[in-house]
Structure 1
């Protein structure tokens, strides 16, 4: 089953690309060096323990307030349902204070769930010694060919329920690119050892790998959807950071 042309031309896709492009325009707030650092050090060294504690608390609170003001400038309130209408192919479940969202949809006899996580730095994958495998896979597959050059990616796990069985595909979504990491499947019985049904995609034949990308696209995991997810998760990341800062400020003011 192929994605309809209406989905490929969905109006929310263009809006998501605009939001994603705006990420590069996020403000950078450089810190100014203190003009009297030596005098401050001398002052701190002359204070008693209780005074030093009060000064340190006040300094930390000033930094927190500064970060809050910066985050407030960067974060945007979006009415996603209104902006993207009913054409978006998934329902979004987003709980504040978490590092993920869940997308759900039903397609004929299947129930599709996609867990999408906050952005991760691309170099974290490189530190695990997987960079060479990624580049080799990308060159061979024609997908995510610039993955190593991107600064971040969004982890996502696509789980397709087929009655009492499931199929799970773990991916990394780079800007405009998708890389599949692994494939697993099995019955609903949780006692089944996942190692018996899981395979790393790089170990599969090239034709098999290409078929998996087409399979995901037929389930609406398209570049338009992943572009939207990047915009959504970047926005969520900003708001989660702002909420975290406010909670920390509340603690410091006690």
Structure 2
């Protein structure tokens, strides 16, 4: 990212170079006028031709070629990794046997699953932005753990340093074990709407093959559950949110969970979402590399 910022900072200097040539152009026009006194139109034409050629001769940024080569290398590596992968069974089974229609627009972060159930329209959405946030948080936690051990080593003696290094190694191994066994929690936004009857908006988490409901909202106007219009968002925020799901009567919680399961919010969905998010993020990353590389080389 710093390389891209450097290119952006260099761009104004590149664009400014032709202006440094203008005084010289003016001198040429002045001497020519003294010798032959060309017409005003001829002078303007010569000036335009000189200015255009100056822009064409403007050199590219010094780091462009190196950056493009690095992007190509990264693209080749990621493509080779992708070629060896197979479609996860959770994705294949869900798409082939599920009742949801998938809407995934390339270049967009959000993914939508829709289906009809009787007179109801059901929409389940999730975003790969959550994956980036999750990875960033884990990176920050790992850095904090490393800094803490570095501080302990600096303040203690050699024995303390050895102990701190051993603890850090153990912690790293534990983190790797947890990464292998724990799936990333994926946020789901579930909307069940009926014509002229409003909508239920359910916030839930999909993790380790289970769906954990966090909140259940009701909106008299179903648009409040979908629209990103500022007025609609404000109206949704002003609506009574309902009690925390975990504070409801246990039997009521169970029945609401069964209600969602009948509509396709099942363990199969909980397995599908994390795997699909990971696959989509990889596709979007490859597309990003292609786009940035194409831009740099243009």
TM-score by length of structure 1 reads 0.60
Gaps of 5+ in 2: 1-57, 141-177, 225-231
Q: Greater RCO between the two (CA within 8 Å, min separation 6)?
A: 1
**Which among 59, 67, 79 is matched to residue 66 of structure 2?**
59
User: Distance between the aligned counterparts of 2:94 and 2:114, measured in 1?
Assistant: 16
For the Cα contact (< 8 Å) 2:187–2:204, is it kept in 1? yes
User: Distance between the aligned counterparts of 1:205 and 1:124, measured in 2?
Assistant: 34
Q: Relative to total residues, which structure has the larger strand share, 1 or 2?
A: 1
Gaps of 5+ in 1: 1-49, 128-145
TM-score by length of structure 2 reads 0.52
Structure number with greater Rg is 2
Q: CA deviation at 1:69?
A: 1.5
Query: Within 5 Å, which residues of 2 pair with 1:94-173?
Result: 94-118=104-128, 119-120=130-131, 121=134, 124=137, 150=182, 152-164=184-196, 165-173=198-206
Q: CA deviation at 1:61?
A: 2.0
Deviations 1:42-97 (A, max 9, x none): xxxxxxxx99952x33332232122211221233686x998766531101111111
User: Distance between the aligned counterparts of 1:156 and 1:169, measured in 2?
Assistant: 8
> Aligned with 2:106: secondary structure?
coil
Q: Relative to total residues, which structure has the larger helix share, 1 or 2?
A: 2
Query: Within 5 Å, which residues of 2 pair with 1:1-254?
Result: 53-54=61-62, 56-75=63-82, 87-118=97-128, 119-120=130-131, 121=134, 124=137, 150=182, 152-164=184-196, 165-188=198-221, 190=224, 192-199=235-242, 200-254=244-298
> Aligned with 2:73: secondary structure?
helix
